[in-house]
Amino acid sequence: MEIFNILEEKWDVAILLDACRYDSFASIYQEYLPKGKLEKKIGASCTTRWLNSIFQDTYPEIVYVSGNPWINSVTSEGRFDARGKFGAIFDVWEWGWDEDYETVPPREVTKAAMMANEEHPEKKVIVHYLQPHYPYLTDKIPREVKMHFEGVDGRDGRAQNLVSDLSIFINEGLEQMLGRSRFWKIREFLELETDYIEEYLWRTYTPDQLQEFYEDNLRLVLSEVEELLDCLDGRVVVTSDHGEAFGENGDFFHPLGTKNPAVREIPYCKFEF
């Protein structure tokens, strides 16, 4: 499945909703963005695969407003090195992080997007909201459960060391070999504790509850997008890097390399101002 390349399209501002599946967007977006022209595209299986597929060169004409720590100007750690790739990076994930919710609220990204558009009127702008991606803003997760952005300014909630690197490597290998749900069921059967947010959510809620939380997150971010659009001129698109699964074909969230349509089908919505 070939990943849709947003750089081949014409736009002045591209708004990225992290983990936004096509069908959820299609059922909700007209409540907030009734003038948009919606198309279905193919995304990646996760953010870092999307980043590495799309941004293989340098893009001085683009300013990146980032609520997601994978796109940052401060480190080469992690799975995508954004340093030097863009004309500027607004590290909203660094100053706008909410420790209670373990995410960047969409309001912080909106404010930074308005600032970027004002400071760089001659450049194209990508605005990367973390929502509708978990954590869900309508339900606080326990403090011991973290978003794991390994190596990015401590945003994973723990220090990097050889032991943690080895643990991550082993767990990711077993998850891919056994399948995500089977691996989690084995861990649950063995009564192993987890601080990993996806496994925590899978253990705690039903698929219907997860999708309800997810779509609440989508509504929250779409209300911010609606406000942002009022401040923009030119060609604007709203899209995503990947979708999200809630049990379809046995998948949950966005397993690495999956071809599940719930994860791979994303919205591409166009506006002219």
pLDDT of residue 166: 54
pLDDT of residue 126: 98
**Domain-located, residue 158:** no
pLDDT of residue 256: 87
**Domain-located, residue 160:** no
Write out the residue range of the structural domain in which residue 249 sits.
6-140+206-272
The two structure tokens encoding residue 6: 């947003």
Q: pLDDT tens digits for 210-256? A: 999 999 999 999 999 999 999 999 999 999 999 999 999 999 999 98
**Domain-located, residue 128:** yes
Q: Partners of 128 in the beta sheet? A: 16, 66
Question: What's the number of domains the chain is made of?
Answer: 1
pLDDT of residue 153: 66
Distance CA 145, CA 35 (A): 39
**Domain-located, residue 153:** no
Which residue stretches of the chain have pLDDT < 70?
A: 77-78, 150-151, 153-171, 173-174, 178
**Domain-located, residue 61:** yes
pLDDT of residue 192: 84
pLDDT of residue 94: 93
pLDDT of residue 163: 43
| 3-state secondary structure string across the chain | CCCCCHHHCCCCEEEEECCCCHHHHHHHHHHCCCCCEEEEEECCCCHHHHHHHHCCCCEEEEEEEECCCCCCCCCCCCCCCCCCCEEEEEEHHHHCCECCCCECCHHHHHHHHHHHHHHCCCCEEEEEECCCCCCCCCCCCCCCCECCCCCCCCCCCCCCCHHHHHHHHHHHHHHHHHCHHHHHHHHHHCCCCCCEHHHHHHHHCCHHHHHHHHHHHHHHHHHHHHHHHCCCCCEEEEECCCCCEECHHHCEECCCCCCCHHHHEEEEEEEEC
pLDDT of residue 202: 95
**Domain-located, residue 169:** no
**Domain-located, residue 111:** yes
Q: What pTM did the predictor assign?
A: 0.92
Distance CA 156, CA 159 (A): 8
Q: Partners of 146 in the beta sheet? A: 196
pLDDT of residue 138: 87
Residue carrying the six token digits 């760089």: 120
Angle at 137 between CA 89 and CA 182, to 5 degrees: 95
Phi-psi region of 157 (alpha: psi -120 to 50; beta: other; left: phi over 0): left
**Domain-located, residue 99:** yes
Q: What is the CATH number of the domain that holds 252?
A: 3.40.720.10
Distance CA 272, CA 267 (A): 17
